[in-house]
């Protein structure tokens, strides 16, 4: 049986590690179970130019290393292992890493979400070199160039609208003859003079040597292929929140995201932050901001909740 921590943080991206910095500085002895995918989506991001405080930009993995070092400096215990099971039916909450059980008076969930990819080899090879899932992050690098957006949902419309402000031309490639997106978003995208659509089209391959030069699409009706010249391809076919551990225990929306009020979930003492509960902003800086909020909310909740105090041994283990 393990000691009882004040707080366990599950997830080690910008949200989880910011929660760890705040929780550690508040003397809450946080244990961060950051997962094998430690660092989250920024680990596969090259230049980050929109995180305040880095006027010359920073590499995603380098920034996450700084987040970890800062959390560790204040005593957060960070374990690069996957949480395999969680029980929030009673306090202390329990989190398992295989057979090892950890207990805590409060829990912060920061397991994030992953963008869906098409699954093409050329897409993987050119990721970070013109292939991206985040227009806000990477659009600027391709200013005045032609760009392709893949998808037909609200995200694809949003990406196309955003990119139209800087691109020479944005071509939306959608696999059907109708958008899934809301009418208002679709109408807005289609009304833009530099946005066009290739309906009934699939991406066969991303072309380019070291950087994206064109996108090969195939008409699913005629079978004909066409190479669209483009400097970038933005894949906007949805995200998958990492919430399988919590299904049936914590309220999720129909897409699988954790439902939050601020950072509070429907289970008292369990908080969520970052992309696992955010379908709107999905930025490193907003994830970090909500991580800070979750740690402060957990701290205030611990102060007022009628709970057994954390054990001395857990406090000493930090």
Catalytic status, residue 138: yes
Instruction: Give CA–CA dist 81/191, Å, rounded.
Output: 48
Distance CA 258, CA 251 (A): 6
Q: Does 155 participate in binding ligand NAP (rule CB under 6 A)?
A: yes
Q: Is 292 a catalytic residue?
A: no
Nearest Cα to Cα of residue 141 among 45, 54, 47: 47
* Out of 175, 188, 216, 218, the residue judged to bind ligand NAP by CB under 6 A: 175
Strand partners, 170: 147, 195
CA–CA distance, 108 with 269 (Å, rounded to integer): 8
Q: Which is closer to ligand NAP, CB of 136 or CB of 279?
A: 279
Give the Cα separation of 75 and 58 in Å (integer): 25
Catalytic residue among 138, 154, 275, 278: 138
| 188 part of the interface to ligand NAP, by CB under 6 A | no
Q: Which is nearer to ligand NAP, 172 or 294 (CB)?
A: 172
Beta bridge partners of 77: 31
Of 20 and 150, nearer to ligand NAP (C-beta) is: 150
From 6, 29, 158, 299, residue interacting with ligand NAP (rule: CB under 6 A): 158
Rounded Cα gap, residues 248 and 217, in angstroms: 41
| 137 is known as an active-site residue | yes
**What helix, strand, coil percent values describe the chain, rounded to 5?**
30, 25, 45
Taking CB under 6 A as the binding criterion, the range among 19-27, 33-41, 144-152, 224-232 that sits at the site for ligand NAP is 144-152
What is the nearest approach in angstroms of ligand NAP to the Cβ of residue 217? 11
Q: Can you give the binding site for ligand NAP, defined by CB under 6 A? A: 118, 150-156, 158, 175-176, 180, 237-239, 255, 279
Residues designated as active site: 134, 137-138
């Amino acid at each position: 049986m393990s000691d009882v921590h004040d707080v366990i943080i599950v997830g080690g991206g910008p949200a989880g590690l910011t929660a760890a910095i705040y929780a550690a500085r508040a003397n809450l002895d946080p244990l961060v179970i950051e997962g094998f995918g430690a660092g989250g989506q920024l680990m596969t991001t090259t230049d980050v130019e929109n995180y305040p405080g880095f006027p010359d930009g920073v590499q995603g993995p380098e920034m996450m290393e700084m987040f970890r070092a800062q959390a560790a400096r204040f005593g957060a215990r960070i374990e690069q292992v996957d949480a395999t099971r969680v029980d929030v039916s009673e306090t202390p909450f329990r989190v398992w890493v295989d057979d090892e059980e950890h207990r805590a008076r409060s829990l912060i969930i920061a397991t994030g979400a992953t963008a869906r990819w098409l699954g093409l080899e050329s897409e993987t090879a050119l990721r970070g070199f013109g292939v991206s899932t985040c227009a806000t992050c990477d659009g600027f690098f391709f200013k005045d160039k032609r760009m392709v957006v893949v998808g037909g949902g609200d995200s694809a419309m949003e990406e196309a609208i955003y990119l139209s402000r800087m691109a020479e031309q944005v071509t939306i490639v959608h696999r059907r003859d109708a958008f899934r997106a809301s009418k208002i978003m679709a109408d807005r995208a289609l009304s833009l003079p530099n946005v066009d659509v290739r309906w009934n089209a699939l991406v066969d391959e991303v072309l380019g040597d070291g950087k994206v030069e064109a996108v090969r699409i195939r008409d699913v009706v005629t079978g004909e292929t066409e190479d669209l010249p483009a400097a970038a391809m933005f894949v906007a076919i949805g995200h998958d929140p990492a919430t399988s551990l919590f299904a049936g225990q914590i309220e999720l929306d129909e897409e699988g995201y954790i439902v939050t009020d601020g950072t509070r979930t429907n289970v008292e003492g369990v908080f969520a932050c970052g992309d696992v509960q955010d379908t709107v902003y999905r930025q490193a800086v907003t994830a970090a901001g909500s991580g800070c909020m979750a740690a402060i909310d957990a701290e205030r909740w611990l102060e007022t909740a009628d709970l057994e105090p954390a054990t001395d041994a857990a406090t000493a283990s930090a």
